[in-house]
Structures are given as structure tokens and as C-alpha cells.
Chain A
């Protein structure tokens, strides 16, 4: 009953349906979108359908044009042997069994969101029951593959730290997914959503709505699908516009063209052309066509994935959305970022572009791991300032951001303690730029002469510190200091620094890390007193911090008024 209503209202409700917002997080078991089996097995289904249709079309054409009959066509064979009836029976039985299995798997797949945990039960023969604590949430992602978008469905992934530790709800209605994400985040934030539930509990009975909806529904569905397809990835009401960064398509394409991949491509291309001019034509034939196809595929893939990239600060953390055909967005609650790296490949330097990557625990899904750690594919210094302003709050203050921006392009100094001159044999070009800086809440590490890097690690997210020294470093009276965080693309290591400075920094930071851990409250980020400088977000953010007990006014966040 509960699940049925969840699915049906999504499939058939009028646009902008108003249901009581608490109904997915009421601690009861709910089912997924009824089209789930169809969406999950989507490609297989399309393949089978395609096969059947292709066969029928051939037959149809044969009939119409009286073409000679082709041997090997299963329908033809069955027809000739007089077994068409059996074939139809087998097909029908297969279909029925398939439908029953799909239906059963849908019936048995349910989820429940309580105050502290989210649970999923699934499987027909082998039952699994997975339960995750809400205050351990590392991120909430909503994915909308192209096929699912056509059905108005979406996949919700709640990731927690750990290998394959993810609660996946595939698929939900698109609007349901958005609402569930908001409510899960609200619950996880420590801010009780009771107010919003009680306010809208005396909602009008659903029955009249359902009966009325049957007529305008017919025109509504297509219209609504179109609107959903064209809608911006980020709901305009969910974030203040000044905290949104977008990337022009032209810049994105240019940045891909100016990537290391292009350089490699040009080198390989030059090699192939020279060898073929020298008379070894076979290389040409073997490499060019597949190579060109692969390169075009790569560019197309990267472009469509990164197009419409947007990042914005919402009241429950940073939201990153991307994708042209298959879209997805990812919400990172405050304090879930373990390291931030701003970097610039050599080719981007004339344009002044930078990219930002992060380390996070429990990146959702293997396929999306690359994109989910990329916070800014390409952007100007101004974009870097904005994105850092979104990522750092809750971990590090404005001082850190200014230090990052100052140190980003400097050749040396600018608040950073650089490696001593005697480090030049190890870092002939970059020793001047290799250095570190510290603020009360973070450690900053800068390096790179050709490929510039600047890494920020919030002290409250440091897992361990390591200072080490090999024979070469010992000869030069240097040490290596590394700040270890959860695994990810960002490595925070000062490869060379003065020994005594390094020893002191090690002692100082190890004490500061402990102090920062103790002060850290971001696992319940909106609970009273946590996260002093939060996103430049809506006004309710201020209200929730000010009062120890959240007032009813502060509980529904901006999206709740839709």
C-alpha cells in the first residue's frame, strides 16, 4: 500500500503534486518506483525488443514485397515446421515468468528511513538487509540515466565510508528522490524535521486529488517529462544564486582540447605519420581508424559528462551536478571533505584555468568515482575562489581561502614556508615553490613548477602524520612530511623541507590535529553549535545555529515550499 502510493503518485500525479512531505521518512517500509525492473534491465529489454521487432519487420517486408524467404529466421523456421503455436506459447510463458520474477523482486525490495538509520531489504531467494547510520553519511547522490529520465525516475545513492558501502535506492520517482534526499539530509544534520511534518500533516485527503487528476493527467505526463528533461540540474530555489558556479561550454571544450590526452594524441599521431611516410604503411591502417574512433569517443564522453556542470552551496552542503544526457548530482554535507587540491596543468596556464579535486570517504560507485571527486573541471581564479568558499566552510575559515588564492600563482613565499635553497638537487625547478603554510584550522601544501598544485587539508580530517627521511634527504639536512587522509586523488606531502622546521611542524600539527578532532562536530552539522561559518546560505541557516533548539521556522528548508 505504502509503496504503491509512492510509485503511483509519481507516475500519475499532476504536476507539482502536494503530498505530505514526511511520508517517505516516517519509519515505515516503502517500495521503489514500479518501473524499477524495466529501468534496471532496460538495455536487455531494448535489445530483445529490437530483435523481435527486426524479425517482424523482415517478415512484414517479405509479405509486402514478396521477397525470397531467408533461411535461418527463427520465425520462418517455426512457421515452416508448423510450430508457430509452440513458439508463441514458449514466448508467452517466458514473458509471464519474467513479469512474475520482476514483480516479485520489486515487491521484495523495500526501504525505510528512520530517525537514525536508513535500511534497504532486497532479494527474492537471497535476502539482504542493509542498514546505514545517518550521521555517517558521506554524501547523497542522485543519478538520472537517460533511459530513466524518460520515465521520470531517478536513482538515489546514500554513500557511507567503506568499500562498496552505499545504500542504493534504484529507482525512485524523480520528485520523490529529490524530496527524500532533502529529508535524509535534514535528518542526518541533527535538525529534527518534526516541524515540517506536523505542519503539513493535516493535508487534504488524497482521494479527491486522485480522482480529479485522471483527466488532466493525460496531457500532463508528457508535458511534465519534457519539463523535467529540460529543467536545470539544480533547483533554483535550493541555492542562492551567488553561490553557484557554472562552466561555459566553450571553456570546457577548450580545456579538454588542452589536456594531457591531446598531447599524447598528437605525439602518437606524429609518430604514426612519420613512420607511414617512411614506408611502413601498416601502422597507419592499424592505428588511425580505431585510434580516431577512440579519441572522438573520449572527447564526446568527457564533454557530455561535464557539460552543464554546476556547483552550488545548499543548506545541507555542496551540491555538484553534471551531465547532458544522463545527469547526476551529488550532495556533500559539511565536513565530508578530507582534502582539497587546486591544480593547473602547464597547458592551462596561459588561459589561467584551474581544477579542483577532493578526497572523500566512500565515493559513490566506481564509474562515477572520477567525477565525484572532481569539484571543478575547469575554472578561472574567480571560480576557484567561489568553489573554495563552498567547500571549505565547516572545515576551514576565510583565512585559509585567502592564503590559497595568494599562494596559488606566486613563484615563492606569499605566506608559505618554502624549501631551503639546498633542496635544489632534488627539485631543480620547483624548490622555490615547494612549501607549506598553516592556519588555525588547516594545513596548506604547495608544490609544482610545471604542474602547479596546492593542497588544503583540514586539521579535523587528518588521519595521521608522517615525517620521514631517506639518505639523500639526510645528506641535505631535509625531511619529508606527509599528511595522510582517506584515499583519493589528492596526496598531501611536503617532499622537501628543512629538518628542524619539519620536526617542529610534526610536533605542533600532531597536537593541533587532536584538538581539531575534539572540536569537530560536523557529523551532525546542523545540530546546535556546529559549524560556525557555514555556506552563505539562506536565512534559516542562521536561525538553526542561533537557537539551541531549532524553532519550527527553521526546520523546513527552502525546497519545502515548492
Chain B
């Protein structure tokens, strides 16, 4: 949407069209760019379920409690940095919780005609593209909070350990459907290792 490349290269010609099932709701494409320096990859991104916000907030609260808990012994020991550390931990935790909605919105994926594109992160933003044919297996996992909310995480595993495409917060039925779709896509585009 934003960030028109200043030097139009041969790249424009090969942009993949969204040929495969752009059925999901075209979520707001991430947070509004704070500056023009932000890395952006155009396209219609499918977002994750808004309910995933609950998972994020719960894990952020746990993180907050743990961070604050670490500082408690120092306060009890009466060290000078005990209270400032607690305040710092609390502020970090609150900021993490406050940013949770943006974090959730930053997660997106696209099924292009030949590859899956996945993005996430606001501070450390990353975009990964994996050709369907590279799929080795697909994992679906459900944590306790996710299960309570009826969500599932889908992990796309390739031969490269560093690929790490894990789409969190999909509605259960959607995760299963996406898995089947990805498997059939991979099957039709099977390549060697």
C-alpha cells in the first residue's frame, strides 16, 4: 500500500497474483507505518483471529508477573536497585500488554499461487516466503489458553530448520482447513529436496 519503491525494477513484473483462495478477511495490513523506512511487502494479508489477543495478553501478564517476581528478592534484601527494578519491570510489562493488539495485528499470511508468505513483529519485523513444494510436514498445536479460546497454531516445516513459519491464533476449523489446503497445494507442486 505505502512505500512505493523509488526505483521500479524488473520486480514489478513477477509479483505473484493472489491466485489461491483469497477468502479470508483482508485484515488491516499491520500498523500504520511509523516512518517510510519500515519494511513493507504489499499484498492482501490474511490476519489471525482477534481472539488471539487473549492468548497474547495472558502470556504478557505471565511475563509481567515473572519479571516483577524476579525483583522481589532484591527488594526484600534491601538493595538500592530493588524498587527501581520493580518499576522498570512493571513498565516493560505494561508496555508489552499495551502493544499486544498491534502485535496481533502485525501477524499475517498470504497464500500466493506458488508460495506461502508469512509476516509478524512490529519492532523486529520479518517476512518469510516458502514455496509450497518445500513443505516437509505441518504441525498443529494448541496451548492451554488457545484451547480455551478454540484456537490453534499451525507450523509449516521445511528442510531448513531456520525457516520457522508458525502461524498462531487460527480458529480451529480454519487451521484444519488451511492445513489440508497447504498439504494439497504441496502435493500438486512437489519438488525435490
Residues of chain A having any CB pair with chain B under 8 Å: 136, 138, 161, 335, 361, 463-471, 474-477, 479, 482, 484-487, 499-508, 510-514, 517-518, 520, 522-523
Contact = CB atoms under 8 A, between A and B. Distances in A.
A486 B38 contact: no
A517 B159 contact: no
A22 B41 CA distance: 56
B131 A474 contact: no
B14 A464 contact: no
10 contacts: A463-B160, A466-B163, A468-B124, A486-B159, A499-B37, A504-B5, A507-B15, A508-B11, A514-B114, A514-B131
B37 A512 contact: no
Interface of B is mostly: loop
Nearest to A470: B124
Interface of B: 3, 5-7, 9-11, 14-16, 35-41, 114-115, 117, 121, 123-131, 133-134, 158-163, 165, 189, 191-193
Contacts of A485: 160
- Top 9 A-B residue pairs of the complex, sorted by shortest distance between their CB atoms: A468-B126, A463-B160, A504-B11, A514-B114, A511-B14, A510-B129, A469-B39, A523-B192, A464-B130
A518 B191 CA distance: 7
B193 A486 contact: yes
Contacts of B127: 466-468, 506
Nearest to A362: B193
A468 B123 CA distance: 10
A485 B163 CA distance: 9
A500 B9 CA distance: 10
Contacts, number: 127
Given A335-B192, A508-B14, A503 B41 contact: yes
B126 A520 contact: no
B193 A136 contact: yes
Contacts of B191: 517-518, 520
Given A361-B193, A485-B160, A504-B5, A467 B126 contact: yes
A503 B5 contact: yes
A475 B37 contact: yes
B16 to A, nearest CB: 6
A53 B3 CA distance: 82
A501 B126 CA distance: 16
A513 B114 CA distance: 10
A522 B193 CA distance: 10
Given A471-B123, A507-B14, A464 B5 contact: no
B125 A468 contact: yes
A487 B158 CA distance: 11
Contacts of A482: 162
A522 B192 contact: yes
Contacts of A500: 3, 5-7
Contacts of A468: 39, 121, 124-127
B192 A464 contact: no
A253 B14 CA distance: 50
Given A463-B159, A468-B126, A503-B40, A517 B133 contact: yes
Contacts of A465: 128-129
